[in-house]
Amino acid sequence: MTEEDVPSPTAAVLLIGDELLSGRTQDSNLAYIAKFLATYGIDVCEARMVRDREEEIAAALNVLRQHYTYVFTTGGIGPTHDDITTDAVGRAFGVPVDYHPEALALLAPRYKPGEFNDMRRRMARIPEGATLIRNSVSTAPGFQIANVFVLAGVPMIMRAMLEDVGPRLARGRVVISQTISAQIGEGRIAGALAQVQREHPAVIIGSYPAFAESGPRVQLVVRGRAGEAVERATSAIEAALRQDGISSTRIRD
């Protein structure tokens, strides 16, 4: 196979927590993970949000880990009763969960005598066969089991854990993108855009409308793994816009 034929690694993100589905908490982890993985040439192909229910977490995880190269979960690995992700992962893999000596050794020194209580010790429970993921913010580790990375839900901690995950990931060819902005409704150039897409099958062209007080706008995003193909399609869109008397600008993502 040539470099272009090698399939890039894929990923899914499983966001865990009642607070996401109630609208109480606005997730920001998905976008961060997606951008982080993009630098490795890994595409996030699907994301799911599930409640704090062991069977629902395990069921979603078992589908995703069989479909994608990697799965990243966020949330549910703290010390409280509603932190059930670790047990759900153990159930999904059919392995027992027990106190991990290294995790205990990391956590114990953080607490004053008598304060490392049973609930806090829960954070050292890790499914059999998993390796720890370092948490440089608040010590309590995440873990990796097979192709699944189990991360904290608090964004600052999740981001720190990703730094420890990065070196474990296979790399794909990075996606290159160009964005064109124009002050028109997308319907006006939809025909030309469809033709450019047909003529440039190596890229994916997305059209993202928005409405401002000054009127409709659109951002046209060209994405692909071959820089020359992205550039050719982007130029073709710009030429089509010019021909239609529409001025556009390239913007940096």
Residue ranges binding a copy of itself (CB under 8 A)? 17-28, 30-35, 38, 43-52, 56, 78-83, 115, 117-120, 122-123, 137-138, 154, 156, 175, 186-188, 190-191, 193-194, 197, 204-211, 221, 223, 253
Contact 72, 149 (CB under 8 A): yes
Minimum distance, C-beta of residue 129 to a copy of itself, in the bound complex (Å):
26
Rounded-to-5 percentages of helix, strand, coil across the chain = 40, 25, 35
Which of 121, 232 has the CB closer to a copy of itself?
A: 121
C-alpha 157/C-alpha 135 separation (Å) is 7
Cα 211 to Cα 17: distance, rounded to the nearest angstrom: 32
Q: Count CB atoms within 10 A of the CB of residue 25.
A: 14
Task: In angstroms, give the least distance from the CB of 238 to a copy of itself.
Answer: 17
Q: Considering beta carbons, is residue 146 or 194 the nearer one to a copy of itself?
A: 194
Residue closer to a copy of itself (CB basis): 167 or 215: 215
Q: How far is the CB of 161 from a copy of itself (least distance, A)?
A: 14
What's the min distance (Å) between Cβ of 157 and a copy of itself? 8
Element (H, E) at 182: strand 176-182
